[in-house]
């Protein structure tokens, strides 16, 4: 019998079904963009972004004013094998830094006009909160399921029930953000020492690609550590043979609590027709799991950038996504999502604020029909 990918999880089962993009809204947006005072298609992928936002939201005038970057945080038992250049204590310390406003994501989100929400879904130990710059500081959501995951080389990283609970954390947070203060655009990021190891294991399990092909250097590990990292992931997949028909089972076996929360965030936002901007490799791994649960999901995602992690290109290819930036980023935290949110805002401002040929009394192309003002196409 084929497993139900939703696994009876109430919070997932309650979500609206994720359907295809709204083709009529996309077509009407293309017509409008073609009537703006520029050569047709000359703003390239900015126009593509405006059309994609219309397809996701079903609206030609969709707002992206209320923007948030959610950073899910959790620790990993596999980190005890020395797969990272940093100790596990850094996870809690960086969460404190996010809340204090001192991290890269705080700076980049502030530049993009986005709030930062940090979710402790699986941090091990106490978060040493300190005073900082409250103008850039993040809001901390305490939703810890367990104090990190178990060592996935010895068995599942977490119980199935814990994976499901962490997914529900993400779903519930989207519900909260939609109600207060409202949410038009969601960027997702993560923090967790060892999570590139878990993400590599997930990507190898879901795609069937060799571990060595999808495993990179994460925090900047040396050759010896990278070799050990590959071997550890291979041991984990032997200890937890993946069943691709059971994505939540795979997530529980070799994933992470913060990755599970990302799955919930992504699915809930997509079901609510809110554009979701992925960050890098770890959020991409979460999106792969989410797409295994909801096959119509990928077109509703925006890939912010291409990470230097080798597995990220494979993730993007499987999701059918083309990234908007290629800046050799490998930080995480939602940094790429914050940068790309500025492009989404720019695309929507082009849509809303540029003059048409008609309104500016500028001669358009000889074969361009009159009109082009934004309006929902008639029913039927």
Do β-strands 301-303 and 139-142 pair in parallel, antiparallel, or remain unpaired? Answer: unpaired
What is 248-305 written as a DSSP string? HHHHHHH--HHHHHHHHHHHHHHHTT--EEE-SHHHHHHHHHHHHH-TT-GGGEEE-B
The angle at the Cα of 250, spanning 245 to 256, to the nearest 5 degrees, equals: 150
Q: Give the span between the Cα atoms of 226 and 310, in whole angstroms.
A: 13
| CB-based contact 116:98 (threshold 8 Å) | yes
* Catalytically annotated residue among 48, 333, 353, 358: 333
Residue 227 three-state SS: helix
333 in catalytic set: yes
Q: What are the backbone angles phi and psi of residue 335, rounded to the nearest 5°?
A: -60, -45
Q: Give the span between the Cα atoms of 146 and 263, in whole angstroms.
A: 17
Query: Which residues are marked as active site?
Result: 333
């Amino acid at each position: 019998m084929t497993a139900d990918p939703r696994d009876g999880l109430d919070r997932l089962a309650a979500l609206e079904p994720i359907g295809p993009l709204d083709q009529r809204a996309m077509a009407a947006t293309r017509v409008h963009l073609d009537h703006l005072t520029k050569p047709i298609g000359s703003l390239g992928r900015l126009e593509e972004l405006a059309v994609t936002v219309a397809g996701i939201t079903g609206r030609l005038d969709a707002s992206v004013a209320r923007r948030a970057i959610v950073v899910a945080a959790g620790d990993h038992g596999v980190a005890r094998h020395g797969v990272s250049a940093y100790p596990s204590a850094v996870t809690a310390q960086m969460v404190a830094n996010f809340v204090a406003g001192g991290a890269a994501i705080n700076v980049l989100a502030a530049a993009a006009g986005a709030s930062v929400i940090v979710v402790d879904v699986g941090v091990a130990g106490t978060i040493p909160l300190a005073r900082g710059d409250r103008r850039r500081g993040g809001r901390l959501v305490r939703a810890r399921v367990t104090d990190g995951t178990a060592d996935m080389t010895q068995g599942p990283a977490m119980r199935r029930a814990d994976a499901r609970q962490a997914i529900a954390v993400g779903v519930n947070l989207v519900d909260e953000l939609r109600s207060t203060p409202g949410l038009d655009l969601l960027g997702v990021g993560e923090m967790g020492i060892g999570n590139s190891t878990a993400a590599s294991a997930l990507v190898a399990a879901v795609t069937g690609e060799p571990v060595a092909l999808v495993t990179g250097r994460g925090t900047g590990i040396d050759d010896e550590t990278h070799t050990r990292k590959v071997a550890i992931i291979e041991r984990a997949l032997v200890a937890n043979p993946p069943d691709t028909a059971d994505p939540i089972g795979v997530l529980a076996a070799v994933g992470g609590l913060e990755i599970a929360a990302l799955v919930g965030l992504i699915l809930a936002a997509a079901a609510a027709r809110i554009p979701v901007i992925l960050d890098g490799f770890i959020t991409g791994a979460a999106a792969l799991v989410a797409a295994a649960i909801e096959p119509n999901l990928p077109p509703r995602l925006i890939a912010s950038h291409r990470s230097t992690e080798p597995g990220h290109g494979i993730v993007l290819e499987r999701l059918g996504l083309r990234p908007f930036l290629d800046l050799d980023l490998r930080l995480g935290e939602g940094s790429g999502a914050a940068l790309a949110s500025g492009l989404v805002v720019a695309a929507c401002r082009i849509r809303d604020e540029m003059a048409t040929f008609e309104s500016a009394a500028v001669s358009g192309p000889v074969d361009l029909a009159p009109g082009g003002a934004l309006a929902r196409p008639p029913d039927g």
